[in-house]
Chain A
Amino acid sequence: MRRGVGLGNYIAVDSPVHALDPAAKLGIVSAFTVGLFTAGTFPGLTLLAVTVIVGTLAASVPISAALRGVRTVSLILVLTILANALRWEPATVALVRVGPLAVDGEGLASGVFFAVRIVLLVVGTSLLTLTTSPVELAGGIERVFAPLRWLRVPVGDLAMTLTIALRFIPTTVEEADRIMTAQTARGARFDRGGPIARARAYAPVLVPLFFNLFRRADELATAMEARCYRGSDGRTQLRESRMRPADWASLLVAGILLIATGVAL
C-alpha cells in the first residue's frame, strides 16, 4: 500500500477515443463483444483484432497498458491451447508425438482460435476503462440504464451510490495507509507469516477502518440532507453530458460494422 496504489487503469491523455461519450463507448464495447462471440472464423477474428489495434493506437495509450490484462489470464490461455491441442494416444493424424501424447492439428487450431478470442475480449474491454475515468463511466452507466426507471429501478440512487463509492476510494486508501504507518511505527509487520498471521496483523487496521466507515456515513448522510438531497427524483447535474452527433455516428458505424463482421465471418 505504502509504495503507491495503482487504482484503476484509466490513463488521462487527449485522444479521439477519450473524447467519445462514455455511453457511446459502452455501446461500442457491447457491439464488439457480440461480434466476437458470433465470429466463427480466423478472418473474422483478424478483422476484429484490427479494430482493437486501431482503437488502441487512436486512444494513444501504451500497448503495454492495453495488454496488462492479458498477463493475468496467461495461465488460462496456455490451458485453453493445451486442453484443445493435446491428445492422449490419438486415433487422428498428429502433428507432433511425444510418447502417448500428441498435438492434434485441428485441436491446436481451435485452441489458438479460442485463445485469440480471449485476448481480444480482455484488450477490447480494458480499452473502455483505459480511456474513461470511473466517474465518467458511472455517468455513462446511469444514462444507458435510465430507461429502467420505468420498471421502478432506482437508477439515480444507484448512480449516486456508485459516484460516492468512487469518490471515497482514494480517501479510504489514504486512511488505511495512515493507520498502517502508525501501526508499523509501533512495530507491526504486515508482510510476514501465513494468511492467518497476516490477517491478525491487520486487525488493528480493520477496526478503526470499520468504525470510521459507519461514522463517516452518518456525517455524510446528514451533510447531503442538509443540502436537500431527497433521492434521485428531480436531481440535476452540474455537468450535463449528452451524446453529440459525432458520438451517435461513431456508435452506429462501429456498432453495425462490428456486429456485421461477427455475423458474416
Chain B
Amino acid sequence: MTDTKTRILVEIALTVALATVLNLIKLWRMPYGGDVSLEMLPILVLALRRGWRPGVSAGALYGVVALMLGPIVVHWAQFLLDYPLAYAALGVAGIFTELVRGARTDGRSRVGWTAAAVAAGAVLRFAAHFTSGLVFFGQYAPEGQPTWLYSLLYNGSYMLPAAILCAVAAAAILPPLDKAVPPR
C-alpha cells in the first residue's frame, strides 16, 4: 500500500502527460481559430476523483508543460491567463467530487453533477481565456473596438463544443474507472 501523497503526485504527473497527448489529437478546427480537442478530459477526471487541489495542481502544471513544449506568448498577462491560470481554473471542477461520488452510481444525478462540474471548470477556464483576450485586444486594438466580442467569438467557438464533449466523456468514463481502479 503506497502513501496517498506519492500516489496523487504520480497521478497528477500522468494526467498532465495524457492531457498533452490528447491535445495533439485535434478533433476539429474552428472557423475563428482554436482547436476542439479532449485535452481538458484528464484534468477533469482527476479533479472528480481526487478533489479540487490535485485538479488545480494538474491544470497549472499542464499549462506549464504546454508553455515548455511550444509557447505562444503575445503579452505577459496573456502568458499567465492562457497557460497556468486557465488550466488551473479547470481543476476547480473538483469541488463537485463529493457530490458526484455521493450520487447514485446508476442514476441521472451522477451524470447531472458530472455535467455541472465540467461546466464549472470549463466556465472558469473560459473566463481566463476571455479575460486574456480582453487584455490582448485592449492593448493592441484602438479604443472603441468591440474587444469583448472578438474574445467571446474566438474563445467560445472552441470551448463550448470541447466542454460538451468532455462532459459526455467524463460521465461515461468515471463510473467504470472508479470501479476498476478505486481512488484510494
With A69-B72, A75-B33: A169-B20 Cβ-Cβ less than 8 Å? yes
Q: Is the CB of A213 within 8 A of B71?
A: no
Cβ of A80 under 8 Å from chain B: yes
Q: Is the CB of B141 within 8 A of A83?
A: yes
Q: Is the CB of A194 within 8 A of B28?
A: yes
Given the complex, which residues of A lie within 8 Å of B150, measured CB to CB? 79
Minimum Cβ distance to chain A for residue B134 (Å): 14
Most chain B CB within 10 A, of A7, A76, A79, A225, is at A76
Cross-chain pairs A/B with CB under 8 angstroms, 8 sampled: A126-B71, A128-B71, A134-B68, A162-B13, A165-B20, A169-B21, A202-B38, A213-B14
Cβ of A263 under 8 Å from chain B: no
State in angstroms the CA–CA spacing of A86 and B145 once bound together.
12
With A161-B13, A221-B10: A166-B65 Cβ-Cβ less than 8 Å? yes
State in angstroms the CA–CA spacing of A75 and B14 once bound together.
34
Which chain B residue lies CB-closest to A111?
A: B140
Q: Is the CB of B9 within 8 A of A161?
A: yes
Q: Is the CB of B141 within 8 A of A84?
A: yes
> Interface size (B, Cβ < 8 Å)?
60
- Which residues of A approach B to under 8 Å, CB–CB? 1, 5, 7-9, 33, 37, 69, 72-73, 75-76, 79-80, 83-84, 107, 114, 118, 121-122, 125-126, 128-129, 134, 137-138, 141, 157-158, 160-166, 168-169, 171-173, 176, 190, 194-196, 198-199, 202-203, 206-207, 209-211, 213-218, 220-222, 224-225, 229, 231
Q: Is the CB of A199 within 8 A of B69?
A: no
Given the complex, which residues of B lie within 8 Å of A141, measured CB to CB? 64
Q: Is the CB of B173 within 8 A of A210?
A: yes
Cβ of B15 under 8 Å from chain A: yes
Minimum Cβ distance to chain A for residue B123 (Å): 20
Given the complex, which residues of B lie within 8 Å of A83, measured CB to CB? 140-142, 145
Given the complex, which residues of B lie within 8 Å of A8, measured CB to CB? 68-70
Q: Is the CB of B76 within 8 A of A172?
A: no
Given the complex, which residues of B lie within 8 Å of A76, measured CB to CB? 74, 136
Q: Is the CB of A225 within 8 A of B65?
A: no
With A172-B17, A202-B38: A225-B72 Cβ-Cβ less than 8 Å? no
Q: Is the CB of B165 within 8 A of A162?
A: no
With A73-B74, A218-B2: A211-B180 Cβ-Cβ less than 8 Å? yes
Minimum Cβ distance to chain A for residue B105 (Å): 17
Q: Is the CB of A161 within 8 A of B12?
A: yes
State in angstroms the CA–CA spacing of A80 and B136 once bound together.
10
- Which residues of B approach A to under 8 Å, CB–CB? 2-3, 5-7, 9-18, 20-21, 24-25, 27-28, 33, 36, 38, 41-42, 45, 49, 57, 61, 64-65, 67-76, 136, 139-142, 145, 150, 161, 165, 168-169, 172-173, 176-177, 180-181, 183
Given the complex, which residues of A lie within 8 Å of B173, measured CB to CB? 206-207, 210
Minimum Cβ distance to chain A for residue B184 (Å): 8
Given the complex, which residues of A lie within 8 Å of B68, measured CB to CB? 8, 129, 134, 137-138, 166
Q: Is the CB of A164 within 8 A of B11?
A: no
Which chain B residue lies CB-closest to A161?
A: B13
Q: Is the CB of B70 within 8 A of A129?
A: yes
- Given contacts A83-B141, A129-B69, could you give 18 more A-B pairs where the C-beta distance is less than 8 Å? A1-B24, A7-B69, A73-B74, A84-B142, A125-B71, A126-B70, A157-B9, A162-B16, A162-B61, A165-B14, A168-B14, A171-B17, A195-B36, A199-B38, A213-B18, A220-B10, A221-B2, A225-B2
Minimum Cβ distance to chain B for residue A89 (Å): 14
Minimum Cβ distance to chain A for residue B168 (Å): 8
Given the complex, which residues of B lie within 8 Å of A5, measured CB to CB? 24
Q: Is the CB of A206 within 8 A of B169?
A: yes
